[in-house]
């Protein structure tokens, strides 16, 4: 029972940490972030398992995490407000070529991040070419280009 409680506690703490650190944390992983995740995963494993390294305990921890994740997914489908609280909503960062600085600052996105996404996904080089840039729930930035003015 102790392993179940430890696993649930770690699961909830990690969900809160990733929610607080923002969407871009998972979408843009750097070498430093990768090393940090490795260290966190080792610490997490130790916190969940404690001194019991048996296969039975490992299976119990794994099953607990999967059941918790499945249960949370069911709750999010049933309670849209919970889904919005945990996953957030898409957020417009650029409108008609104008960066919305307050929103960008709030989610820690730079103009260079938006332009990088614009180049990679749409072949756009300038902010003026962007109709909308949207930070999606996944942390990716979607770009909707401006339509060229036809003669």
Q: Give me the helix-helix angle, 31-49 and 2-21, nearest 10°.
A: 160
* In CATH, 91-145 is 3.90.550.10: no
pLDDT at 135: 94
Query: SS3 helix, strand, coil % of the chain, rounded to 5?
Result: 65, 10, 25
- List, for residues 57-77, the tens digit of each pLDDT value: 888 888 998 999 999 999 999
> What is the longest distance spanned by two Cα atoms in the chain?
73
Three-state DSSP class for residue 86: helix
pLDDT at 28: 64
Q: How many CB atoms neighbour CB 140 within 10 A?
A: 16
Low-confidence ranges of the chain (pLDDT < 70): 22-28, 30, 149-151
pLDDT at 98: 97
Domain residue ranges in the chain: 2-87, 91-145
CB–CB of 53/60 below 8 Å?
Answer: no
pLDDT at 33: 73
Q: Report the alpha-carbon distance of residue 90 to residue 50 in Å, rounded.
A: 39
pLDDT at 131: 97
């Amino acid at each position: 029972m102790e392993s179940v409680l430890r696993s649930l506690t770690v699961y909830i703490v990690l969900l809160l940490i990733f929610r607080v650190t923002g969407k871009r944390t998972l979408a843009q992983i750097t070498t430093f972030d990768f090393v940090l995740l490795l260290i966190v995963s080792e610490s997490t494993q130790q916190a969940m398992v404690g001194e019991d390294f048996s296969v039975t305990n490992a299976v119990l921890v794994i099953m607990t995490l999967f059941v918790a994740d499945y249960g949370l997914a069911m709750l999010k489908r049933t309670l849209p407000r919970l889904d919005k609280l945990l996953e957030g909503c898409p957020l417009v960062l650029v409108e008609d070529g104008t960066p919305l600085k307050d929103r960008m600052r709030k989610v820690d996105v730079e103009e260079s991040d938006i332009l990088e996404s614009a180049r990679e996904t749409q072949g756009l080089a300038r902010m003026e070419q962007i109709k909308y840039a949207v930070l999606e729930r996944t942390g990716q930035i979607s770009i909707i280009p401006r339509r060229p003015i036809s003669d």
